[in-house]
């Protein structure tokens, strides 16, 4: 206390104030200051520690949790949408391959029908051609037979004019040989 | 316009020390001690009341999306929590309510003291010294509770040769003992000096103007403006420094071997 008193003495100023110590070092009020400091500081401490700070930290924690939960939810929804996208793509691919299959089948069927029809028509044509050719060759053979007869008759007439009596067999043989040579 | 300043003198003190005077509002003596409710007690009640009102309103809303005052409260919470965590470590968070209360108690007192006619409770060594002593007692108490005698390893740093120890240990002990003194004195001296400076400048304004030198009165008047702003900064800074140093000392209690 003597040090404080000394400080108070030296800190005091002015002629009339010498007896009054510097207020900050005036021990008169120390007890009061300490008592009320304890009252208000402890009061503030308990009010803050008991009510204010837990409430503040609670709010901060709640907000952090809420943000984390919202982020999780967003991630979950994002995954969901990605999966839905994948499913959609899968379905699209399936539909596309199915469509291709159907188109292929239809084309194959058409091609097969075309082939059978073509072969049928071809066969028909070939048959018709054959009969026609048969008729033609028969007609030609007939015609050739007539030609031979005519040639034999002509040859007989010519040999008769020349006064040569040629047998029918010889004439026929000669005409055949000549025709063969021409053919 | 000429004001009759001498007429105002009974209400406006021209003595820069007058603002620090304590006078009782309600006399009360208990157990032989003078525990009167003084102007200092009154303004301490006002500052703690304002702090509690601000933080109470900020905390009570508890909204998911904070409004301005709630945001301020949460910023204060985060600011002090980060300071404690980064200085004293996770374990230091045990003392978070104490450091938080210290910071806001001092800040409230300093800021309230900035207003004219208010009393600056932190401009008294009894108050700041008591706070500093409480801090050091908590440091010593927790240090011994947590580390036993190992706490005194604080005074004997590792890897120091024995002969050096003879010098180092006393120095460490003295520097440790100086902590409560410097801690309390720093805040007290800052508030005291700032308020004396403001008052002196204000008195110059009044005296120059009263002496008919109104043109010269402008000089201290203009000077008062930045210095008032500076004092607001000091009011915040000293509260911060006090809380920060408390964290630094608490770190020593938690981890005495550095």
For B150-207, the pLDDT digits (tens) are 888 788 777 777 888 888 888 888 989 999 999 999 999 999 999 999 988 988 888 8
pLDDT averaged over every residue in chain B: 86
* Candidate from B38, B74, B123 with C-beta closest to A24: B123
Percent of chain A with pLDDT over 70: 89
Judged against a pLDDT cut of 50, whether residue A17 lies above it is answered with: no
pLDDT class of A10 with cuts at 50, 70, 90: very low
pLDDT class of B258 with cuts at 50, 70, 90: low
Q: How far apart are CA B112 and CA B40, in angstroms?
A: 12
| Per-residue tokens: A37 | 């400091």
pTM for this prediction: 0.72
Please indicate whether, in this complex, the C-beta atoms of A33 and B98 are within 8 angstroms of each other.
Answer: no
Please indicate whether, in this complex, the C-beta atoms of A57 and B77 are within 8 angstroms of each other.
Answer: yes
Q: How far apart are CA A20 and CA A18, in angstroms?
A: 6
Percent of chain B with pLDDT over 90: 47
Q: Which residues of B35-64 are buried (b: 16+ CB within 10 A; e: fewer)?
A: bbbbbbbbbbbbbbeebbebbeebbbeeee
Please indicate whether, in this complex, the C-beta atoms of B40 and A36 are within 8 angstroms of each other.
Answer: yes
Please indicate whether, in this complex, the C-beta atoms of B130 and A28 are within 8 angstroms of each other.
Answer: no
Least confident of A18-22, A42-46, A151-155, B23-27: A18-22
Average pLDDT rounded to a whole number, residues A174-183? 79
Residues of A with CB under 8 A from a CB of B: 13-14, 17, 22-26, 28-37, 40-41, 43-45, 47-49, 51-53, 55-60, 62-63, 66
Best of B126, B129, B199, B243 to substitute, by most chain A Cβ atoms within 10 angstroms, is B126
Tell me which of A124 and B33 has the higher pLDDT.
Answer: A124
* Candidate from B38, B96, B104 with C-beta closest to A29: B38
Shortest CA distance to B108 belongs to which of A119, A93, A43, A183? A43
CA A5 to chain B, closest CA, distance in angstroms equals: 14
Domain boundaries, chain A: 2-182
Best of A5, A29, A43 to substitute, by most chain B Cβ atoms within 10 angstroms, is A29
* Candidate from B15, B45, B77 with C-beta closest to A60: B77
Q: How far apart are CA B31 and CA A147, in angstroms?
A: 173
CA A47 to chain B, closest CA, distance in angstroms equals: 8
Task: Note whether B109 and B44 are within 8 A (CB).
Answer: yes
Number of Cβ pairs < 8 A linking chain A and chain B: 132
Quick one: closest CA in B to A4, which residue?
Answer: B125
CA geometry: angle A26, A29, A34, nearest 5 deg: 120
Three-state SS for A169? helix
Please indicate whether, in this complex, the C-beta atoms of A41 and B55 are within 8 angstroms of each other.
Answer: no
Judged against a pLDDT cut of 70, whether residue A19 lies above it is answered with: no
Q: How far apart are CA B16 and CA B11, in angstroms?
A: 14
Predicted local distance difference test score (pLDDT) of residue A13: 45
Please indicate whether, in this complex, the C-beta atoms of A56 and B59 are within 8 angstroms of each other.
Answer: yes
pLDDT class of A15 with cuts at 50, 70, 90: very low
Average pLDDT rounded to a whole number, residues A43-59? 92
Best of A20, A31, A51 to substitute, by most chain B Cβ atoms within 10 angstroms, is A31
Q: Which residues of A touch B121 (CB under 8 A)?
A: 37
Quick one: closest CA in A to B47, which residue?
Answer: A40
Please indicate whether, in this complex, the C-beta atoms of B101 and A29 are within 8 angstroms of each other.
Answer: no
pLDDT class of B12 with cuts at 50, 70, 90: low
Residue B24: beta bridge partners? B38
Where do runs of H (alpha helix) occur along chain B?
5-8, 39-61, 68-88, 96-113, 125-147, 162-210, 214-254
């Amino acid at each position: 206390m003597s040090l404080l008193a000394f400080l108070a003495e030296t800190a005091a100023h002015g002629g009339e104030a010498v007896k009054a110590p510097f207020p900050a070092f005036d021990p008169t009020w120390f007890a009061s200051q300490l008592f009320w400091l304890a009252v208000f500081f402890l009061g503030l401490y308990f009010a803050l520690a008991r009510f204010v700070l837990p409430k503040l930290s609670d709010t901060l924690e709640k907000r952090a949790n809420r943000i984390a939960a919202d982020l999780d939810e967003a991630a979950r929804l994002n995954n969901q949408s990605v999966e839905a996208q994948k499913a959609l793509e899968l379905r699209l691919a399936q539909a596309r391959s199915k469509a291709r299959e159907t188109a292929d089948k239809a084309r194959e069927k058409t091609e097969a029908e075309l082939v059978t029809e073509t072969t049928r028509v071809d066969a028909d044509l070939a048959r018709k051609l054959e009969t026609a050719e048969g008729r033609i060759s028969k007609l030609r053979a007939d015609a050739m037979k007539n030609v031979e007869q005519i040639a034999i008759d002509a040859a007989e007439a010519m040999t008769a004019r020349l006064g040569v009596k040629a047998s029918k067999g010889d004439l026929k043989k000669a005409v055949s040989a000549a025709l063969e040579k021409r053919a | 316009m000429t004001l009759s300043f001498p007429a105002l003198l009974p209400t406006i003190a021209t003595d820069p020390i007058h603002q620090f005077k304590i006078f009782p509002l309600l006399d009360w003596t208990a157990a032989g001690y003078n525990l009167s409710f003084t102007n200092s007690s009154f303004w301490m009640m006002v500052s703690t009341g304002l702090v509690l009102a601000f933080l109470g309103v900020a905390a009570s809303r508890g909204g998911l999306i904070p409004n301005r005052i709630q945001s301020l409260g949460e910023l204060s919470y985060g600011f002090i929590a980060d300071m404690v965590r980064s200085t004293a470590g996770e374990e230091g968070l045990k003392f978070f309510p104490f450091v938080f209360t210290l910071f806001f108690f001092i800040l409230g007192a300093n800021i309230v003291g900035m207003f004219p006619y208010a009393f600056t409770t932190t401009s008294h060594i009894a108050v700041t010294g008591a706070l500093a002593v409480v801090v050091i007692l908590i440091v010593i108490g927790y240090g011994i509770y947590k580390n036993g005698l190992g706490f005194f390893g604080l005074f004997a740093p590792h890897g120091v040769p024995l002969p050096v120890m003879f010098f180092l240990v006393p120095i460490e002990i003295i520097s440790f003992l100086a902590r409560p003194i410097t801690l309390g004195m720093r805040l007290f001296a800052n508030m005291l000096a700032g308020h004396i400076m403001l008052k002196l400048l204000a008195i110059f304004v009044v005296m120059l103007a009263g002496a008919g030198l109104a043109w010269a009165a402008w000089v201290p008047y203009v000077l008062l403006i930045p210095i008032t702003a500076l004092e607001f900064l000091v009011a915040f800074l000293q509260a911060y420094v006090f809380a920060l140093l408390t964290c630094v000392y608490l770190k020593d209690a938690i981890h005495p071997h550095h």
